[in-house]
Structure 1
Amino acid sequence: MRSGHLMLACITLGIGTAAIGQQGVTPALTAAIKAPTRTPANIARDPYRHPAQTLAFFGVKPTDTVVEIWPSGGWYTEILAPYLAARGTLYAAGPSDKGLAGVKAKQAATPAAYRAVRYATFPTSTTAAAPAVPAGTADVVLTFRNVHNWRFGATDQTQAAFDQMFAMLKPGGTLGVVEHRLPEEPGPIEEAKSGYMKRSSVVAYATKAGFKLAAESKVNANPRDTHDYPKGVWTLPPGYAEGDKDRARYAAIGESDRMTLKFVKPK
């Protein structure tokens, strides 16, 4: 079922394939991606991250209550905030106030574009400054390139993270996961510490939490990525962990090969 990067492959039984292209990309989503409040450095990453096709694939609507997990500097928040500003709600859910500082700075600079943003703690904590996302209230939960961080930390928080994301969602709600993909075949590259995760591992965590895998897209796949760099996925742009060493080669590869998985909380 391989037919190029912009192909939606629905792998659950009874679901066929459909070309993604600009399917589901509405004028409202296009306007959010072109929002004047976005920073030029972030816009430059659009050809690698395909935000229009990715958010359309996950089915994010401007009236939704959306949770963005660990937004860090707010790359996707720059799009989601204006998209949801008029009729939706966006929870920026981070581990601490420090982890949400990037989004708070953007909100302070352009409050109108960020008026839908609320703050929550993730993972949940009884001592956190911000509350947790209320259970059963979210239409969509999104996490971009975070699963390996939960595996790579001092303790493995991955299953707890998926369990908490499951709890946030309404029955029938969507979990959208974009993660650096490690090939399934055995090899010398260690999962998580390299920044890559196997698709089977991500699916297993989600399934154990109660999710059903609904579909996956190759929109963020990159066949030029060989997955075997001395400093892991951070060797590739935009990190360039090797500095100027082989920089042109890594620039030609582009950003990492990524899985794009859509899970659903059963009704």
Structure 2
Amino acid sequence: MSADGSPEAAADTAIPNPHQDADTTARLQAAVDGAWRTPEDIARDPYRHPLETLEFFGLQPGQTVVEITPGSGWYAEILAPFLYEDGNYIAAVVDPQTLAEGRGRDYQQRSKDTLEAKFAAAPLQFDRANMVAYDPAAPVFGSPGTADVVLTFRNVHNWRKAGQAQGMFDAFFAVLKPGGTLGVVEHRAVGDVADDDDSGYVGQDQVIALAEAAGFTLDASSEINANPLDTKDHPNGVWTLPPGNNHEPVDNAKYQTIGESDRMTLRFKKTG
């Protein structure tokens, strides 16, 4: 295990997708540079590295791409326009009606409504985007073997805490075509953490184990989204850091200097 919590054997396996070409890179760059993106979202590009991350995951025109719980749509603003002409972008959101009444259902309803409003407000980018609502207790993201790529950004910690992580990875495997890609970005802990850990960080080996238990093979890892300044011992976990900034105002300069969290970037394949 390396000092930052990543497996030694995977430290130098940032293998680019062999099918990536200059035209695809230019098309991805055009989506990243889209005038429809907000200044607040663009300001996060130096931390989230969208072009490099999507190139690493091997995004191609014409693919069917499922993004799991896209939140307010940070990556949707790039993925849906990139796939607009000849692909299929699917936002997989939690179905609020599958949850008990309370804060959880209300939160998921607001998230779903916000994303639907974003899509409706920009038809030139989003009127071909699709949405599937799933039950977290029994997730299904589409017909089996229909997706080329499944992507998830900073979600695994929530699923582990809710006891849903393995079911989610199993469902990723089910919806992907043979040879399909699962791309995972997640806050990286120093080592393994308990299931009920509330820091927001997860051990890289733990994420790999979830994927392998579902049938995936680790194809490559990348340090694209690494941040060696992140000490991972903050009073309010990852939410202490930007963009959450859950800290005392006096500490603002300290946490702005650190920036966003250290993140693993993993590419898995559905082999066979």
Normalising by structure 2, we get a TM-score of 0.84
Change in CA separation of 1:53 and 1:17 when aligned onto 2, cut-off 3 Å: closer
Aligned-pair Cα RMSD in Å: 2.7
Match of 2:164 in 1: 157
1:133, CA displacement in angstroms? Answer: 1.6
Q: Whole-Å Cα distance in 2 between the matches of residues 215 and 36 of structure 1?
A: 32
Match of 2:92 in 1: 93
Q: Is the 8 A contact 2:161 2:195 kept in 1?
A: no
Q: Choose from 133, 145, 161 the match for 1:121.
A: 133
1:135, CA displacement in angstroms? Answer: 1.4
Match of 1:36 in 2: 35
Match of 1:232 in 2: 237
SS in 1 for 2:114: helix
Change in CA separation of 1:152 and 1:242 when aligned onto 2, cut-off 3 Å: same
| Structure 1 residue 175 corresponds to structure 2 residue 174 | no
Is there any run of 5+ residues in structure 2 with no aligned partner, and where? 3-7, 97-108
| Structure 1 residue 107 corresponds to structure 2 residue 119 | yes
Q: Whole-Å Cα distance in 1 between the matches of residues 136 and 202 of structure 2?
A: 24
Higher fraction of helix = 2
Q: Whole-Å Cα distance in 1 between the matches of residues 175 and 136 of structure 2?
A: 11
Q: Whole-Å Cα distance in 2 between the matches of residues 208 and 262 of structure 1?
A: 15
Q: Is the 8 A contact 1:62 1:83 kept in 2?
A: yes
Q: Whole-Å Cα distance in 2 between the matches of residues 120 and 253 of structure 1?
A: 36
Q: Whole-Å Cα distance in 1 between the matches of residues 123 and 249 of structure 2?
A: 38
Q: Choose from 202, 215, 219 the match for 2:220.
A: 215
Match of 2:50 in 1: 51
Mean CA deviation greater in 257-266 or 236-245: 236-245
Match of 2:268 in 1: 263
SS in 1 for 2:160: helix
Q: Whole-Å Cα distance in 2 between the matches of residues 245 and 148 of structure 1?
A: 28
Match of 1:78 in 2: 77
SS in 2 for 1:176: strand
- Taking only the aligned residue pairs, the percentage that are identical comes to 49
Q: Whole-Å Cα distance in 2 between the matches of residues 255 and 16 of structure 1?
A: 23
Q: Whole-Å Cα distance in 2 between the matches of residues 250 and 90 of structure 1?
A: 34
The count of aligned residue pairs is: 249
1:125, CA displacement in angstroms? Answer: 7.1
Match of 1:62 in 2: 61
Is there any run of 5+ residues in structure 1 with no aligned partner, and where? 3-8
SS in 2 for 1:216: strand
1:193, CA displacement in angstroms? Answer: 1.2
Amino acid at match of 1:72: G
Q: Choose from 129, 137, 140 the match for 2:149.
A: 140
Q: Is the 8 A contact 1:180 1:258 kept in 2?
A: yes
Q: Is the 8 A contact 1:124 1:132 kept in 2?
A: no
Amino acid at match of 2:86: R
SS in 2 for 1:246: helix
